[in-house]
Amino acid sequence: MFSTLYVDGAPVDLMDDVPETVTVEFAAAAGTYRCRACGEELAETVTGFEPDSGDPCCADDEEHDAERVPLSWCNSAAISVDESGDAVTVATSVGDPRGAFAFAIRRIPDDTAGDLAGALVMHVPYPMQPSPHMPLTPLHDGTYLVGAHQVVRRMGVAA
C-alpha cells in the first residue's frame, strides 16, 4: 500500500510511505470571540464581552460587535489508517482535547464466518454511548446536538 498526503490540494512529502495518523490541531490559546468589525479578541465576562485593549469602541465610536471565532470549538481533526485492522478512522475533538468523536469504516475479514465476510461496516458515535466524548441529543436521523444545549443569548460588549 502506498499513500499520498495532500494539503490544500498539493501533495506533501512524507517521512513514511503510509503514515498511520494525520492530525490538524488548532491553537488552544485562540480566543472564542472577536469583534465582527475590527477583529479584536474579546473575552467573555458575566456582563458581556471585554476587549483585549480595554477600549470598548472600535470605529466611529461604535461598540465592538462580538461574534464567535470560526472553528474555536475544535481542538483537532485527525485521520488514522490501520492496515492490520483494515480500517480508516476520522476523529474530531470538540471537548476534552484528550478525546474525540470517532467515525470509522472497516472491512470485516473475508475469512470471517457469516454473511458479512468482506463487507464494509461503519461505526459512528451515538447517544448514551459509554464514556462519550460529549453528550449527544438526536435532532433527526444522522444529526445530533453536541454537548449541553445553551440558550442563544444576545451578545453585547461590556463598556
Residues that bind Zn ion (CB under 5 A): 35, 37-38, 58, 64
Which residues lie below 8 Å from residue 8, measured CB to CB, with a gap of 6+? none
**Residue 26 CB, nearest distance to Zn ion (Å)?**
23
Half-sphere exposure of 156 (CA within 13 A, CB side): 6
Integer Cα distance of 39 and 64 in angstroms: 9
Closer of 20 and 62 to Zn ion (Cβ): 62
Closest contact distance (angstroms) between CB of 150 and Zn ion is 24
- What nine digits make up the cell of 155? 451578545
- Residue 37 vs 81, nearer CB to Zn ion: 37
CB of 79 to Zn ion, least distance (A): 37
Return the closest-CA partner of residue 72 out of 28, 38, 35. Answer: 28
Minimum distance, C-beta of residue 66 to Zn ion, in the bound complex (Å):
9
Choice between 38 and 74, CB closer to Zn ion: 38
Q: Which is nearer to Zn ion, 64 or 133 (CB)?
A: 64
147 contacts: CB under 8 Å, gap ≥ 6: 94, 95, 134, 135
Q: Round to whole Å and give the CA distance between 32 and 28.
A: 10
Residue whose Cβ sits closest to Zn ion: 58
Residue 94 or 155: the one with the smaller Cβ distance to Zn ion is 155
- Least distance between Zn ion and beta carbon 65 (Å): 6
Closest CA to 89 of 21, 148, 137: 21
